[in-house]
C-alpha cells in the first residue's frame, strides 16, 4: 500500500509541475506583457489597430510622428486631431487657435476615429513615445468607444489603462485627463448619460500630483443644456469657434499643469 501511494505521489508531482508550467506559459502568451500592460479580457484595454482601415490609419499616424517633439503633447481622437485643420477645410477645425496658442509649444498626436485600444496600440507597438518624453500631456479619448457600443464601464476602464500606461513609461510627465465632451443636440440624448457615467468613473486616476482631471464639457452647452452647430459643427466635432472655447477653458488648467500643481 505504501509503495502504491508513493508511486501515485511520484506521478502527481510531475503533473503538478506541468500544470503550473502551463499556467506560466499562458501568462507569457499575453503579447502586451512586454510593454508592462496587465492582462485584460476587455477589448478597450487591449492594444489594437483599425483593421480594415489600417491602409490609411497607419500611414496617417506615422506621419504624425514626424512632427517636432514639444514639451506639451495632446493625445486623442478626431476632436484633438482637428485642432490642426483650417476653418475652410472639408472638415473645419481649429488651426487658427492652434497656431496662435500651441504651435510653438505643443505636439498633436490626435488621430481621427481612435478609441482607447488604438491609442494603446500607438503608444506601445506603434512606438509613438520612442525617444520622446514630453513634460505635459493632455489626454481626451473615449467618445468613439461609446458611440460604437462600448459600455461606460468598459470605456472608463480603457481610459484608465491609457493613463496607467503613460504613468508607467513617463513617470516624470504631468497628465491632464479631460472628461469626454458632451455631444448631440438634446441634453436628454442617451449618449449624454453615458458620457457622464464615464466622466464620473475616470476621476479616480487624478492625484493632483502627476495626474489631473478636468471636466470642461459644460462650456460647450447652452443654458438649457443643448448644443448648437455654431459650437459643434455636426453636434460632435468642434467648430472653429468651439476650438477657441476649448482653448479658453483649457488655459487655467494648463497653468496648473505647467506649475506642477501650484
Dihedrals phi, psi of 90, to nearest 5 degrees: -55, -35
Per 3-state DSSP, what percentage of the chain is helix, strand, and coil (rounded to 5)?
50, 10, 40
Q: Which residues are CB-contacts of 77 (< 8 A; sequence separation ≥ 6)?
A: 110, 111, 112, 113, 114, 115, 140, 141, 143, 144
Per the annotation, the verdict on 224 as an active-site residue is: no
**Which entry of 77, 78, 210, 239 is annotated as an active-site residue?**
78
Are the CB atoms for 241 and 206 separated by under 8 Å?
A: no
Catalytic residue selected from 136, 210, 237, 239: 237
- How long a stretch of residues is the chain? 262
User: For residue 37, what is its C-alpha cell?
Assistant: 500592460
Annotated catalytic residue 237: yes
CB proximity list for 181: less than 8 A, separation 6 or greater: 79, 140, 143, 195, 216, 217, 220, 238
Cα-to-chain-centroid distance, residue 189: 24
Judge contact between 162 and 121, C-beta under 8 A.
Answer: no
Whether 218 is a known active-site residue: answer no
Distance separating alpha carbons of residues 40 and 237, to the nearest angstrom? 31
Active site residues: 78, 234, 237
Amino acid at each position: 500500500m505504501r509503495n502504491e501511494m508513493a508511486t501515485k505521489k511520484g506521478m502527481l508531482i510531475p503533473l503538478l509541475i506541468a500544470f503550473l508550467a502551463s499556467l506560466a506559459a499562458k501568462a507569457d502568451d499575453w503579447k502586451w506583457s512586454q510593454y508592462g500592460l496587465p492582462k485584460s479580457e476587455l477589448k478597450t484595454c487591449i492594444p489594437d489597430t483599425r483593421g480594415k482601415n489600417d491602409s490609411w490609419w497607419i500611414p496617417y499616424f506615422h506621419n504624425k510622428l514626424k512632427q517636432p517633439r514639444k514639451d506639451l503633447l495632446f493625445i486623442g481622437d478626431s476632436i484633438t486631431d482637428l485642432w490642426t485643420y483650417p476653418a475652410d477645410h472639408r472638415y473645419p477645425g481649429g488651426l487658427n487657435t492652434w497656431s496662435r496658442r500651441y504651435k510653438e509649444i505643443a505636439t498633436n498626436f490626435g488621430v481621427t476615429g481612435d478609441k482607447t485600444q488604438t491609442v494603446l496600440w500607438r503608444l506601445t507597438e506603434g512606438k509613438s513615445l520612442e525617444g520622446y518624453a514630453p513634460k505635459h500631456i493632455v489626454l481626451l479619448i473615449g467618445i468613439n468607444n461609446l458611440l460604437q457600443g462600448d459600455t461606460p464601464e468598459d470605456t472608463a476602464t480603457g481610459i484608465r489603462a491609457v493613463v496607467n500606461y503613460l504613468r508607467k513609461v513617463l513617470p516624470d510627465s504631468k497628465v491632464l485627463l479631460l472628461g469626454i465632451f458632451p455631444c448631440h443636440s438634446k441634453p436628454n440624448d442617451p449618449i449624454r448619460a453615458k458620457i457622464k457615467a464615464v466622466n464620473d468613473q475616470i476621476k479616480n486616476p487624478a492625484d493632483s500630483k502627476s495626474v489631473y482631471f478636468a471636466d470642461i464639457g459644460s462650456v460647450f452647452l447652452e443654458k438649457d443644456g443643448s448644443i448648437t452647430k455654431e459650437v459643434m459643427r455636426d453636434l460632435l466635432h468642434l467648430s472653429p469657434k468651439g476650438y477657441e472655447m476649448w482653448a479658453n477653458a483649457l488655459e487655467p488648467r494648463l497653468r496648473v499643469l505647467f506649475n506642477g500643481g501650484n
